Structure 1
Amino acid sequence: MWFYRFETDAIGWNPHVNVLVPDGYRDNGRRYPVLYLFHGGGVGQDFISWDRAGIRELAARKEIIIVMPDGGPAGWYCNPVHSNAGPRNWETFHMAQLLPWIDANFRTYAEFDGRAVSGFSMGGFGALKYAAKYYGHFASVSAHSGPANLRGSGDLVTHWANASSAAVELAGGTVYGVPWDQARVSADNPMENVERYRGKRVFMIAGDSPAPFDPFDQITERAVLTTQNDFKGALDGAGIAHESHAVGGGHVIRGDFFRRDLDGIIGRLRKAG
């Protein structure tokens, strides 16, 4: 695992990034596909979260570079409408700064078929958002217990994003504004951008249990599953291929399904060589 800290004016502090490289990377001269892997929300969630979850074991002997950046405890992989805590422009940091830096400093394939994006919970939403908004950047997208519809169930996820960001990220500011910036909500909402998943590998999983609650104690895994089912229906209606799973349990990373997903990611992307 290689560790980096960035100086950036996009964030009010210097965010961290972990990069997991394949065995032999330092000496073999080969190029590899890249997975951008995002953490979930909550106090204490950060660039180390996937390491705590066992990513080294989960990705052992896999020929892929895995990039795990900070995303803030409730940054929602967005540039917020308003912050009282200084800059928290996570989207700018990830997409305009980190991604080109990775391609410039690692032996990657800087192309559509060379990149995937995935995440857990809030990070799964971020993965779905980036895959649609930056259509040509990622050939595969995965959401592990990540919400997939900002406007379903009475706009629950948008309320959740605003409330959580105000409480623990933006010192009373909000991701989507008060009142909401409706154009921004629509631009970020997977359900309103279904066509931008055509031609990509799409993977989703969520539990069907109402407990345990997520870190903000405002939304259950069953609510996440409802948003994924909304999105699945939209993908089905558009004739867009995808893989989705509803399984027992709550808001957790499921190692067996992560391994399955990682194998699918590697199968979709350009091979190391």
Structure 2
Amino acid sequence: MPPPTPRPTVLRSLKRTVGVLATAALLVLLAPAAHASARPPLADGFGLTQVASTAGSAPANTDTNFVITVKSAEVQGEQNIRIILPDDYAANPGKRYPVLYFLHGSPDDPSNAFYGNEALTGAAGMITVVPDGGNRGWYANWLNQHTAAGAQNWENFHIKQVIPFIDASLRTIATKQARAIAGISMGGFGAFHYAQLHPDLFSQVGSLSGDLELGANQMALRLATVASLTNASGALCASTSGTVACDGNAYAPGVDSDALFGTPYPVFNADWRWNQADPVANAAKLGGMGIHIYVGNGDGGKYDVREWWLESASVHMKAKLDALGIPVHYENYGNGASWGQYCKGGGHEAGCWYQDLLDLVPRLRSALSPAA
């Protein structure tokens, strides 16, 4: 006797069940294989609260090179932090690593692909952290916290929040001997400024085309800094990092020229706070550190006048260090002709900084305490 013919409603139910099972099986087959993520859990703390962001969820993020976004009462708005882990981070759960804090230029952002370049990711022996410094934060606690730019306590953000957050979240060697700081342009100023203010935190410091002189002897760089504060329309690119296009809104809203360090004008010593923050004036505070300075001259200013100004600042810093008997690794590659294939014209641009990093990163990796 033939089996009974199922009723239409039963057939539809069976088809749905088979369809659901088939879809589930297909999803299982297509799902990526489970793997141990190298990205560690990062708990909020030290005044930092993580928030969802486009940069934080970008497809370019990987387990070992990713961006998180945080909010802090110390600085207005949301701030990106790029974290680059050594390739063997997940495979060696008992291993600890030195840390390089790498500070970006102005205007720029850690989510820029440049800060995930191979010269930094190749530093397998250390963790690299690129924290946000704002388009014109200048790695300082501003004198005036009540401008249209809102809270601007960048030193507090980096020193009191980001560094302890990283040490608590990642397997760092949390000592001066295992911590370096370096930066580009505005970030070069920031690296030397922080190293001079907090010599107990860093054993190595580096500048790539850094604004290393803000004293009255270097008014071109001081006025370029002022231009970023006031959003001066004719000078928006005067201190850019070169890794991003110049944007007419990069330094908006404009604030008073006194907002950062008080009046910048050298009349009756009214600019004393600028002189106090000048890295050249504080060169003696770098004694005992490993110091690395890289700069070009923009082909004597014909290719890039910005780098020509910065060369002057770097020359003055080296002369001061030499006079103090403090060793420094100094690379002045002029027009860039002998500094590798990526550095064109010795300008204030990413190709030259990539070459700088190819030289700097192995030096830092060798100088910092080995992984525990």
Q: TM-score, normalised by structure 1?
A: 0.90
Letter paired with 1:268: A
| Aligned counterpart, 1:250 | 347
1:267 aligns with 2:330: no
1:198 aligns with 2:287: yes
1:32 pairs with one of 80, 92, 97: 97
Structure with a larger share of its residues in helix: 1
Letter paired with 2:141: N
SS in 2 for 1:244: strand
Unaligned runs of 5+ in 2: 1-64, 232-250, 336-345
| Aligned counterpart, 2:219 | 155
1:171 aligns with 2:254: yes
User: What is the CA distance between 1:179 and its match in structure 2?
Assistant: 5.3
| Aligned-partner Cα distance in 1 for 2:172–2:281 | 31
2:311 pairs with one of 218, 225, 228: 225
Letter paired with 2:154: W
Q: Which structure would you say has the larger RCO, counting Cα contacts within 8 Å and 6 or more residues apart?
A: 1
The structure with more radius of gyration: 2
Relative to structure 1, is the Cα distance of residues 187 and 108 closer, same or farther in structure 2, using a 3 angstrom cutoff?
farther
- Aligned residues, how many? 265
- Cα-to-partner distance string for 1:53-90 (whole Å, 9 max, x where unaligned): 55245432521100011111111111122232211221
- Cα-to-partner distance string for 1:141-161 (whole Å, 9 max, x where unaligned): 110000211115442222221
| Aligned-partner Cα distance in 2 for 1:21–1:183 | 41
| Aligned-partner Cα distance in 2 for 1:140–1:16 | 24
Stretch moving more, 256-265 or 151-160: 151-160
Q: TM-score, normalised by structure 2?
A: 0.67
Amino-acid identity (%) = 29
- Cα-to-partner distance string for 1:8-46 (whole Å, 9 max, x where unaligned): 10111121101000012124121000000011102xx11
* 1:145 and 1:252 in contact (8 A); partners too: no
* 2:181 and 2:204 in contact (8 A); partners too: yes
Letter paired with 2:263: V
Unaligned runs of 5+ in 1: 214-218
Relative to structure 1, is the Cα distance of residues 152 and 230 closer, same or farther in structure 2, using a 3 angstrom cutoff?
farther
| Aligned-partner Cα distance in 1 for 2:154–2:80 | 12
- Cα-to-partner distance string for 1:156-202 (whole Å, 9 max, x where unaligned): 22222122122115532332223566443233211111111111010
* Paired residues for 1:76-225 under 5 Å: 76-82=138-144, 83-151=147-215, 153-167=217-231, 168=251, 171-173=254-256, 174-178=259-263, 182-209=271-298, 210=301, 213=304, 220-225=306-311
SS in 2 for 1:159: helix
Q: Return structure 1 stretches of 4+ with deviation > 4 angstroms.
A: none
